């Protein structure tokens, strides 16, 4: 069976998996979604003996049905190799009485590597399958992690160029250094004067600009996306939730068919949506706990059914979650609207025009899988400090948001199910915030001295990604106003 993809805003148009990956965003501004969520065709007992690569094939072959076995296995082999610093790719670590799925052992020490290691290979394979002659221009907005992971994935990949926009002053120093020191003749990095939502809205507007599309085509270029709006980003993320459940089973931490809860630090909603898709595929997940920082637009949505971005934008110590427009939520809205593209398009129009929308009572009833929670800056720091004091385990700020929310959910409910936390970044990436949470004396320390101290107190090795930026040359220093993104792209491409 060939699984086709539809736009969340137009039920009439379909695309194959490879076409959806190539386009990134549908022509009408909608996101590509599979016509249905496929079921796993292997049992959990079979999965528990599989490597990460074998699990990836078992999951991804169900979604990417127009890729041959050889093509898909080749993409997987190239993605999940020695660029990860652990052989198992995504280790499971028991911390107290919860399980952390460490998704930060790739080239840029954040969970985005899990999908962005494979996306360039899926994209170039898709281009060949669809006889694309143009160079693919990857256009991406980042709140910190996607940018570097995409740059690392696409650097010097033939037939591609990549342009990353990030909010100036809105990412950590390590995140910024990782991007502005990126090598590769096909890479460009631009700091915009604005926040992540400005960058993301600007990128979406460029995708929807038909005049620009014609200009680019005339010069041999076409856009695609590495943001989590691309289905080629989302599908690989489903893999690690399937893998984690199988490993819990293999390690005899859970029994066959035992349900678990999953807590995910959430910004753009892609990571938790992948867990929702894993549940639809047959993984015994009970609650999906959506953890927000002080930009708690998703917490308020799950509580009230109203999505309202008209609020103060807060810069926090967990910058990858400093988001007020969670793009991937549209895929869930489309699903709970009964795949009604017209209804979804109307809600997205309201969001664009007045900054908010409210779902119906029927739609609210379909959100029972989800639970929302949030952590303040103080609560995030407290979670880092107390977890370290009790267990010796050091976690980053984003994972700490999830840890706090998970603990609050367990305390306030009578739900005693085992809990998996998506651990989304290395503490080394946010060393200042992490170390200051453990002890205020570190607040005045030099960034690189903090990294050495973190190594000492955590008994972990400094990741390659950090060592590489210590003395790296700054290669990208371009900046622009949020309303000049189109001109900047044309200038970079020489259009």
**Residues belonging to the active site:** 112
User: Judging by DSSP bridges, how do beta strands 160-167 and 135-141 pair with one another?
Assistant: parallel
User: Judging by DSSP bridges, how do beta strands 285-292 and 419-423 pair with one another?
Assistant: unpaired
Q: Within 10 Å of residue 464's Cβ, how many Cβ atoms?
A: 11
Angstrom distance (rounded) from CA 328 to CA 268: 6
User: Judging by DSSP bridges, how do beta strands 10-15 and 5-7 pair with one another?
Assistant: antiparallel
Is-contact 489 163, C-beta < 8 A? yes
Angstrom distance (rounded) from CA 378 to CA 295: 14
DSSP assignments along 246-311, one per residue: HHHHHTTSS-TT--EEEEEE-SSSHHHHHHHHHHHHT--EEEEEEEE-S--HHHHHHHHSEEE--S
Angstrom distance (rounded) from CA 159 to CA 151: 14
Q: Which of 146, 48, 164 is nearest to 106 (CA)?
A: 146
Q: Within 10 Å of residue 390's Cβ, how many Cβ atoms?
A: 10
For tokens 């993320």, what's the residue? 237
- What are the distances in angstroms from CA 64 to CA 128, 332, 378? 15, 20, 43
For tokens 């460009």, what's the residue? 188
Is-contact 314 294, C-beta < 8 A? yes
Straight-line distance from the first to the last Cα atom of the chain, in angstroms, rounded to the nearest whole number: 42
Q: Which of 393, 408, 416, 463 is nearest to 110 (CA)?
A: 463
- What are the distances in angstroms from CA 201 to CA 204, 208, 267, 388? 5, 11, 15, 38
User: Judging by DSSP bridges, how do beta strands 260-265 and 285-292 pair with one another?
Assistant: parallel
Is-contact 100 92, C-beta < 8 A? yes
């Amino acid at each position: 069976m060939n699984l086709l993809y539809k736009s969340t805003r137009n039920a009439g148009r379909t695309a194959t998996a490879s076409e959806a990956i190539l386009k990134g965003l549908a022509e009408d501004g909608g996101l590509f979604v599979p016509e249905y969520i496929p079921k796993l065709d292997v049992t959990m007992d079979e999965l528990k003996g599989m490597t990460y690569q074998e699990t990836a094939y078992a999951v991804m072959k169900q979604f990417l049905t127009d890729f041959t076995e050889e093509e898909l296995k080749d993409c997987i082999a190239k993605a999940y190799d020695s660029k990860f610093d652990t052989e198992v790719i995504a280790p499971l670590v028991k911390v107290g009485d919860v399980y952390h799925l460490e998704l930060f052992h790739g080239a840029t020490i954040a969970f985005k590597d899990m999908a962005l290691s494979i996306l360039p290979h899926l994209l170039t394979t898709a281009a060949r399958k669809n006889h694309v002659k143009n160079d693919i221009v990857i256009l991406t907005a980042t709140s910190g992690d996607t940018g570097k992971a995409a740059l690392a994935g696409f650097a010097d990949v033939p037939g591609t160029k990549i342009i990353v926009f990030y909010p100036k002053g809105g990412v950590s120093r390590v995140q910024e250094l990782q991007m502005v020191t990126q090598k590769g003749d096909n890479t460009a990095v631009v700091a915009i004067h604005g926040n992540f939502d400005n960058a993301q809205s600007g990128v979406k507007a460029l995708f929807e600009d038909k005049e620009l599309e014609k200009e680019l085509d005339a010069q041999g270029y076409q856009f695609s996306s590495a943001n989590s709006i691309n289905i080629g980003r989302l599908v690989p993320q489903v893999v690690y939730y399937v893998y984690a459940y199988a490993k819990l089973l293999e390690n005899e931490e859970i029994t066959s068919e035992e349900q678990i809860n999953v807590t995910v630090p959430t910004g753009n909603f892609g990571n938790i949506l992948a867990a929702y898709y894993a549940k639809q595929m047959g993984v015994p997940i009970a609650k999906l706990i959506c953890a927000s920082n002080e930009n708690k637009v998703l917490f308020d949505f799950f509580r009230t059914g109203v999505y309202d971005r008209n609020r103060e934008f807060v810069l926090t110590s967990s910058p990858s979650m400093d988001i007020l427009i969670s793009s991937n939520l549209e895929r869930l809205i489309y699903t709970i609207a009964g795949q009604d593209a017209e209804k979804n398009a109307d809600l997205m129009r309201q969001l664009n025009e007045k900054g908010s929308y409210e779902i119906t009572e029927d739609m609210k009833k379909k959100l029972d899988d989800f639970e929302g929670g949030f952590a303040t800056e103080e609560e995030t720091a407290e979670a880092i400090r107390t977890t370290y004091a009790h267990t010796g385990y050091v976690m980053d700020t984003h994972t700490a948001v999830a840890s706090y929310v998970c603990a609050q959910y367990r305390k306030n409910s009578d739900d005693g199910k085992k809990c998996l936390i998506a651990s989304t970044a290395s503490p080394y990436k946010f060393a200042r915030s992490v170390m200051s949470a453990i002890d205020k004396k570190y607040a005045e320390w030099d960034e690189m001295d903090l990294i050495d101290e973190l190594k000492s107190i955590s008994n972990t090795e400094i990741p390659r990604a950090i060592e590489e930026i210590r003395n790296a040359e700054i290669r990208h220093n371009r900046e622009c106003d949020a309303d000049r993104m189109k001109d900047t792209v044309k200038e970079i491409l020489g259009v």
